[in-house]
Amino acid sequence: MAGEPPSPTEEPAAANGCEPCKDCPPAPGTEGQTPMGSERMEMRKRQTSVAQETPSSAQEQPGVGNRGSNACCFCWCCCCSCSCLTVRNQDERTRAASHELRTDAIPNCEESSTPTLEDVNAWAQSFDKLMRTPAGRNAFREFLRTEFSEENMLFWMACEELKQESNKNLIEEKARLIYEDYISILSPKEVSLDSRVREVINRNMLEPSQHTFDDAQLQIYTLMHRDSYPRFMNSAVYKDLVQSISEKSTEA
Domain limits, the chain:
114-251
3-state helix, strand, coil in the chain (%, to 5): 65, 0, 35
pLDDT for residue 171:
97
- Kindly tell me the burial class for residue 1, based on how many C-beta atoms sit within 10 Å of its own C-beta (0-12, 13-18, 19 or more): exposed
pLDDT band at 206 (very low <50, low <70, confident <90, very high): very high
Task: Check whether 97 has a pLDDT greater than 70.
Answer: no
26's CB contacts (< 8 A; 6+ apart) are 20, 32, 33, 34
List the Cα angle 97/101/107 in 5-degree steps.
140
Segment 49-68, tens digit of pLDDT: 655 555 444 444 444 444 44
Task: Check whether 29 has a pLDDT greater than 80.
Answer: no
pLDDT for residue 110:
79
Collapsing DSSP states into helix, strand and coil, what is residue 161?
Answer: helix
For the domain made up of 114-251, the CATH class stated in words is mainly alpha
Distance from CA of residue 226 to its chain's centroid? 39
Segment 213-223, tens digit of pLDDT: 999 999 999 99
Kindly report the average pLDDT of the chain as a whole number. 76
pLDDT band at 114 (very low <50, low <70, confident <90, very high): confident
Tell me the HSE value of 218 on the side-chain side, using a 13 A CA sphere: 7
pLDDT for residue 68:
44
Task: Check whether 135 has a pLDDT greater than 60.
Answer: yes
Asked whether the beta carbons of 182 and 151 are under 8 A apart, the reply is: yes
